[in-house]
Amino acid sequence: MISKTYYKTKDYCKVAFSLTNVSASTVDILGLKNDWDSPVSMRKGKDGLYFASVQLPKESIHEFKYLIDKLSWVNDSSADGQVPNAFGSTNSVLSL
């Protein structure tokens, strides 16, 4: 799930990501700010929910995917859309 918090006086939006029902040791988000080399690591809560928050510029578009256990790429069904990528699959899209 993705939630967005916009601030009237700030030039960024706080974006909160959460994943449930994931059996994993690690979950990372890649692609935000067009950076596929620097993952945003998600933390695992006591309830098993993985979560992370980032600040992203307002009026920007980001492609991203989750990387589960450094092996499996997963899209977010709650993203604003999906676009084809160069590997024959799709990336999730976040529009701010």
pLDDT, average across residues 76-88: 96
Q: What is the DSSP string of 12-69?
A: EEEEEEEE-S---S-EEEE-GGG-SSS-EEPEEPTTS-EEEEEEEETT-EEEEEEEET
Q: CATH for 2-95, among 2.60.40.10, 3.40.50.10490, 2.60.15.10, 3.40.50.740?
A: 2.60.40.10
The encoded tokens of residue 30 equal: 């890649």
Q: Are 75 and 82 in contact (CB under 8 A)?
A: yes
Residues 72 and 60: their CA atoms lie apart, in Å, by 26
Q: What is the predicted pLDDT for the residue at 88?
A: 95
Q: What is the predicted pLDDT for the residue at 22?
A: 82
Per-residue model confidence as pLDDT tens digits over 51-77: 999 999 999 999 999 999 999 999 999
- Residue ranges of domains in the chain: 2-95
Q: Are 74 and 68 in contact (CB under 8 A)?
A: yes
Q: What is the predicted pLDDT for the residue at 55?
A: 96
Per-residue model confidence as pLDDT tens digits over 8-50: 999 999 999 999 878 899 999 999 988 899 999 999 998 889 9
Residues 75 and 93: their CA atoms lie apart, in Å, by 9
Residues constituting the chain: 96
